[in-house]
A and B are shown apart, each in its own frame.
With several copies, the nearest count.
Chain A
Amino acid sequence: MHTATTAAPGAAARTGTRTTRVIGVLALATTAFVVVSAFFLTPADSVQGDSVRIMYVHVPTAWVAYLAFITTAVASGFSLARRHRTLGFDRVAGASGEVGVLFMAMTLLTGSLWGRLTWGTFWQWDPRLTTTLFLFVTYVGYLAVRRIDTDPRQRARRSAVIALLAVLEIPLVHFSVVLWRSLHQEASVLSPDGDVRLDDLMLFTLFAGVAAFTLIFAWLVIHRQRLTALADIRQTVGLDAAIALRRSETRGVVK
C-alpha cells in the first residue's frame, strides 16, 4: 500500500502527504454532512423516536470495522507471502487492526446505548451481540500478540496467522441473525420488514456515514502505518549506533 520508507530523512518527519490531506478534508466534510443530516434533516422513527439517530454511527462503525478486519487479513496474507522481504504489509495489518478494534468498540458502545433506549437494557444475550463481542475479543487478542516484544518478523508471522483465522468470524457475526432466531435488527437496510423503516434520506445519510467512517479509517490507517514505519526507521538508525557501540564497547575491555 503506502510506504514511507522511500521518503528523504527530512520529509520523513511528517506522516501527512497531499493524499492524506485530501482524504482528511473529505472525511471532515462528509462527517459534517452526516452530523447535520442525522440530527436535523432525517425524521425520527415512528417506533423508536429520536434514538434511531444512533444508527448513523452504529451501523457504519460496524461495517467499517469489518472492512478494517478484512484489510488486516488481506495485508496479513501479503505479509505472509512475502515474509522474507519488508514489513510494510505487516504495518498496514497492524494499523488496520487497531482502527478496527476502535470502531468495533464504538459499535458495541453505541449498540448498548441504543439497546438501553429501545430494549431497556445495555445488553441482551443475542447471537449478533454475542458474536460481535467474540469478534472484538479476538482482535483484542490479536493486538495482544502484536504487543509481545519479539523479533518483528516473528511477530508479523504470528499475528498474520491469527488475523487470517480471525477474519473467518465476520461471516459468523453477519449471518448469526439468520442462524439463530434473534432480537437484533435483521437486515433492515435490505428488507423493509424491520422496526426501522428507512426512507431515502435516511438511507442516504446512513451511507454517507459509511463513507465518512471509511475515509476516517483510511486516514487513520495511513497515518498510523507511516508512524510505525518511521519508528522502524528510527530503530534502524538506532541499530547503526548500537552496532557501533557494540563493536567498540567490548573490544579490548575484556582482556
Chain B
Amino acid sequence: MNVALSVARKDLQIEWRTRMVLARVVPFALLVMVLFAVALDSEPLVLRAAAGLVWLATLFSTMLVVQRAFDIETADAAIDTLLACAVHPARVFFGKALALFVQLFALVVVLVTAAMVLYGVTVSGSRVVLLVTVVISATSGLALVGTLYGAVVANMNGRDSLLPLLALPVLAPLLIGASRATEAAFGSQTIDMANGWAWVGLLGVYGIVFGAAGSAAFSPLTESDS
C-alpha cells in the first residue's frame, strides 16, 4: 500500500505545483452552477435545484480532474514506468483514486458552502452529519469510478470527449443519489432524513462495487496500449 501512497503523493505534488484544481476547476465549477441557474432562469430556485447543481457541477469538474490525472501519466508515457515499478496495478488504481478523492473533496466543500450562501440554506444538528456523510461517500464514488474510466480511456486518441461519454451514464445514479441526500440535508420538504440516509447507503454500495471492480479491472486495462 506504500506504492499507492507514493502515487497519491506524487499526484498531489503535481497539483500543488500547478494549482490546477485550486485555481481553475473550483472557479469553473462555480461558474457551471451559476450558468445553469441562468440558462434555466428558474424563478423559484428551490432547494432541490441547489443540491442538484452542486453535484452537477462536481460531476463536470470530475471529468476535468480525471482527464488531467491521466494526461500527466500518458503525456510522456510515464505510466509505463509507473506500472512496471508498482508490481500490482491495483496499487496504482488506489493511489490515483486517493489523490482524486482529496482534490474532489476540497472542491465539493467549496461548492456546498457556495450553494448554502447562494440559496440561503442553513444546516444544523443531525443534518450536518448527513451532509458530511453524503459528501464523503459520493466523492469516494466519483473518485473510484472516475479513476476506472480515466484508465479506460487513457492513451486513447480524443479521450477528452470519450471520457464524459463513457463515465457520465455510469455516474448518473451517483448524481441522483447524492442530490437527493443533499436535499434532505438541506432540509427540503420533498424528502425526509430517513430517505436521505437510504440514499447514502446506496452511494456506499456504489462506491464499494466500483472500488472492487476498479482494483480487479485495472490490471487488464493496463495490458492494453498496443
Judge A-B direct contact (beta carbons within 8 Å). Answer: yes
Interface of A toward B, CB cutoff 8 Å: 80, 83, 112, 120-123, 125, 130-131, 133-135, 137-138, 140-142, 144-145, 147-148, 150-151, 153-154, 157-158, 160-162, 164-166, 168-169, 172
Can you show 30 pairs from A to B with CB atoms below 8 A apart? A80-B220, A121-B119, A122-B117, A123-B117, A125-B38, A130-B37, A135-B169, A137-B27, A137-B169, A138-B169, A141-B162, A141-B165, A141-B166, A142-B166, A145-B152, A148-B156, A150-B226, A154-B223, A157-B220, A157-B221, A157-B224, A158-B221, A160-B220, A161-B148, A161-B213, A162-B152, A162-B166, A165-B170, A166-B170, A169-B169
Contacts of B152 in A (CB 8 A): 145, 158, 161-162
Supplied contacts A137-B27, A140-B165, 18 more A-B pairs, CB within 8 Å: A122-B118, A123-B119, A123-B120, A130-B34, A134-B34, A137-B169, A138-B166, A141-B27, A141-B169, A144-B24, A144-B162, A145-B162, A161-B148, A161-B213, A161-B220, A164-B213, A165-B213, A169-B170
Q: What residue in chain A is nearest B202 (Cβ atoms)?
A: A179
Q: Interface SS of chain B: helix, strand, loop or mixed?
A: helix
Q: Interface SS of chain A: helix, strand, loop or mixed?
A: helix
Contacts of A153 in B (CB 8 A): 223
Contacts of A145 in B (CB 8 A): 152, 162, 166
Closest 4 pairs between A and B when the two form their complex, measured CB to CB: A151-B226, A134-B169, A121-B120, A138-B169
Contacts of B162 in A (CB 8 A): 141, 144-145
Instruction: Mark each residue of chain B from 150 to 174: 1 if its CB lies under 8 Å from any CB of chain A, else 0.
Output: 0010001100001001100110110
Q: Is B30 among interface residues, defined by CB-CB distance under 8 A?
A: yes
Instruction: Give the interface size bracket for B toward A.
Output: 35 or more
Q: Is B83 among interface residues, defined by CB-CB distance under 8 A?
A: no
Question: Which of A133, A141, A157, A158 has most B Cβ within 10 Å?
Answer: A141
Nearest CB of B to A117, in Å: 13
A145 CA to B170 CA in the complex, in Å? 15
Q: Is B42 among interface residues, defined by CB-CB distance under 8 A?
A: yes
Q: What residue in chain B is nearest A150 (Cβ atoms)?
A: B226
Contacts of B117 in A (CB 8 A): 112, 122-123
Contacts of B41 in A (CB 8 A): 125
Contacts of A157 in B (CB 8 A): 220-221, 223-224
Q: Indicate whether A172 sits within 8 Å of B173 (C-beta atoms), given known contacts A125-B45, A145-B166, A158-B152.
A: yes
A164 CA to B152 CA in the complex, in Å? 13
Contacts of A140 in B (CB 8 A): 27, 165
A120 CA to B122 CA in the complex, in Å? 13
CB pair B226 A134 closer than 8 Å: no
B83-127 interface with A by 8 A CB criterion:
117-120
Question: Which of B34, B148, B166, B172 has most A Cβ within 10 Å?
Answer: B166
